[in-house]
């Protein structure tokens, strides 16, 4: 069964926000990666500017046994986010088949931002906005952490 988690996008203050959330919820970050740590050989990912290299590419903070709060910063490529529309629904699936089925079904008549693809972080991942304007991220971790 797929799990659903909130994914928050920030305009450069993701680390500050997640340090705050950590102070409230407790726990540890299983992962906090920066745009500057992305492999430079990925032709689909332009090299970040010096200012953007330190921004958060992805962070996760488990807040219960079922829920993980996740987030990242925007970049010049993605553009600034509008507060109030800076949340997506992230679904972690149990297989690539389930990921494809959910991606194809939910993205119908929507706008695909990133088709389902294998990523440098070891996941099968895609992003889209559905026909109702809701942002979604579909993820299958080939090697769960």
- For the cut 90, the answer to whether the pLDDT of residue 40 exceeds it is no
pLDDT digits (tens, 9 = 90+) for 64-119: 888 999 999 998 778 788 887 788 999 999 999 999 999 999 999 999 999 999 99
Residue 65: per-residue pLDDT: 86
Indicate if the alpha-carbon torsion angle 39, 40, 44, 49 is positive or negative.
positive
**What is the H or E stretch that residue 89 is in?**
strand 87-92
Which residue's entry shows tokens 């740590």?
A: 37
- The answer, as to whether pTM is greater than 0.85, is no
pLDDT digits (tens, 9 = 90+) for 23-39: 989 999 999 999 888 77
- The count of other CB atoms within 10 Å of the CB of residue 19 is 13
**What is the H or E stretch that residue 125 is in?**
strand 123-129
pLDDT digits (tens, 9 = 90+) for 44-64: 666 778 888 999 999 999 998
List, in order, residues 6 or more apart from 139 with CB less than 8 Å away: 90, 91, 92, 93, 99, 123, 124, 125
- For the cut 60, the answer to whether the pLDDT of residue 145 exceeds it is no
Residue 144: per-residue pLDDT: 59
Question: Chain-wide mean pLDDT for the chain?
Answer: 89
């Amino acid at each position: 069964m797929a799990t659903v988690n909130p994914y928050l996008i920030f305009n450069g203050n993701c680390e500050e926000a997640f340090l705050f959330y950590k102070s409230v919820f407790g726990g540890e970050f299983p992962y906090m990666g920066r745009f500057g740590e992305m492999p430079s050989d990925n032709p689909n990912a332009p090299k970040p500017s010096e200012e953007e290299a330190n921004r958060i590419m992805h962070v996760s903070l488990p807040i219960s046994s079922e829920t993980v709060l996740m987030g990242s910063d925007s970049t010049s490529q993605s553009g600034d986010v509008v507060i109030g529309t800076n949340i997506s629904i992230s679904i972690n699936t149990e297989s690539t088949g389930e990921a494809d089925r959910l991606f194809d079904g939910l993205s119908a008549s929507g706008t695909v931002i990133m088709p389902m693809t294998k990523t440098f972080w070891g996941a099968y991942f895609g992003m889209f906005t559905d026909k109702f304007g809701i942002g979604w991220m579909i993820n299958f971790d080939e090697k769960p952490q």
